[in-house]
Structure 1
């Protein structure tokens, strides 16, 4: 974690330059005057989430007053927004901050909803918060892998290409009908599907993304900005496509551990395999 540097001498010099007493700084920051004295004597240091307030009190940019080397991780973003872990429960609408605590310790990643809510609360983009989360987990941001679908239009095209390589792909109307069945109401049209496939618009409401996922038989996260899930689904579909002309049962029987597909993804692939096994072959014969 690239903690911000607190220099006791520099802080005291900036306070004096701002013509503020220790008491005035303490009152403005909501702490005891003794706390400011301990900071300036280098006995203790302020909590990371206190630094944005101190920078504002002294009228200095936080990066100039408390510099940090390297980009922020999750805990850094929270501190820069002035929140303690406990305070973030109000941002996510939960009773505790246990999910954020686990994420900041690299135990479990935040849900897509939590990422969105925290990004709004911290005043950063969701992309910036996702990047900070990856740094927390020791993953450096990198360019998308060649051929890996990233936009919504690319993901739909990939599903159509990999799921229906030897068959007539569903029409825009078929896909729209599947979305509407999942939603239980008419929320999308064939023209809307065509617009998504051609990249206009580049986003869709959650109910549409859920309907797309249900139609293609993948988890909803595939159609959201989750690169790791997208990569696993893509790998699973490629595996399925490579086996389709042979014995599809080999895919269902193939056990893969941490070095291969995840258990969840393998379950998805196997469910598709079972469906394929029940379908008549293109030559009209029954499946073996």
Structure 2
């Protein structure tokens, strides 16, 4: 993936990278990663018609097909529950915002974040900057521990 983002995870740039990114982060950890056929079948079932084949989805995911119709991009976005701009080219701001939201949700799902408080504390109310800030704090704590925790363990304060 492209190194267009601060921190350990890079923002996806190509359509294939974006699909892989969604498969890695938008599917809850408790669920098994779906196959190309499962994704295509679900998309087609929701649409009530054939929008995409598992072969085409697989080619998009592997980067063997670089572009597809807006209808397919919309259907794939709907499947993953993300804004349609995420999969469309030249929308790096949308990619960054959605990536931060997915990182935030992953932190909530893994127990790193157990709740939020205050005004605008629902996911829709958190700004991309605040999500980025929270995600950076989580990464820092995961890598370095809680600042001052050694003092607390020694009885200091």
Fold similarity call, TM over 0.5: yes
Aligned length: 119
Q: Residues of 2 paired with 1:260 and 1:211: CA distance?
A: 29
Q: What is the CA deviation profile of residues 54-91 of structure 1, one whole-angstrom value per residue up to 9, with x for unaligned ones?
A: xxxxxxxxxxxxxxxxxxxxxxxxxxxxxxxxxxxxxx
Structure 2 unmatched runs, 5+:
132-157
**CA distance in structure 2 between the partners assigned to 1:170 and 1:204 by the alignment:** 21
Relative distance call for 1:237 and 1:191 in structure 2 (3 A) is: same
* Superimposed CA distance per residue, residues 22-74 of structure 1 (whole angstroms, 9 cap, x where no aligned partner): xxxxxxxxxxxxxxxxxxxxxxxxxxxxxxxxxxxxxxxxxxxxxxxxxxxxx
1:228 aligns with 2:93: yes
Q: CA-atom RMSD, angstroms?
A: 2.5
* Residues in 2 aligned to 1:171 and 1:236: alpha-carbon distance in whole angstroms: 24
Deviation at 1:199, TM superposition (A): 0.2
Tell me whether 1:145 sits opposite 2:5 in the alignment. Answer: yes
Kindly report which structure 2 residues correspond to 1:78-97, keeping only aligned pairs within 5 A, or say none.
none
* Alpha carbons of structure 1 residues 219 and 251: separation in structure 2 relative to 1, 3 Å: farther
For residues 258 and 238 of structure 1, do their structure 2 counterparts lie closer, same or farther at Cα, with a shift above 3 Å needed?
closer
Mapped contact 2:100–2:128 kept (Cα < 8 A):
no
1:163 aligns with 2:26: yes
Shift of 1:185: 1.3
Q: State whether residues 37 and 53 of structure 2, in contact with CA within 8 Å, keep that contact through their aligned partners in structure 1.
A: yes
Q: Secondary structure at the match of 2:72?
A: helix
Per-residue deviation, 1:188: 1.3
Secondary structure in 2 aligned to 1:259? Answer: helix
Following the alignment from structure 2 to structure 1, what is the Cα–Cα distance between the partners of residues 127 and 17? Answer: 28
Say if 1:154 and 1:258 are closer, same or farther in 2 by CA, change over 3 A: closer
Q: Secondary structure at the match of 1:260?
A: helix
Q: Which runs of 5+ in 1 are unaligned?
A: 1-142, 262-288
Length-normalised TM-score, structure 2 = 0.66
Q: Report what 2:61 is aligned to.
A: 197
- Residue 115 of structure 2 aligns to a residue whose secondary structure is helix
The answer as to 2:66 corresponding to 1:238 is no
SS at the partner of 2:130?
Answer: coil
In the TM superposition, residue 260 of structure 1 has moved relative to its aligned partner by: 2.3
Report the counterpart of residue 206 of structure 1 in structure 2.
Answer: 70
Residues 153 and 197, structure 1, Cα contact 8 Å, conserved in 2: yes
Which has more radius of gyration?
1
1:180 to 30, 41, 44: 44
- Displacement of 1:258: 6.6
Distance of 1:250 and 1:236 partners within structure 2: 15
Correspondences of 1:264-283 after superposition (within 5 Å)? none
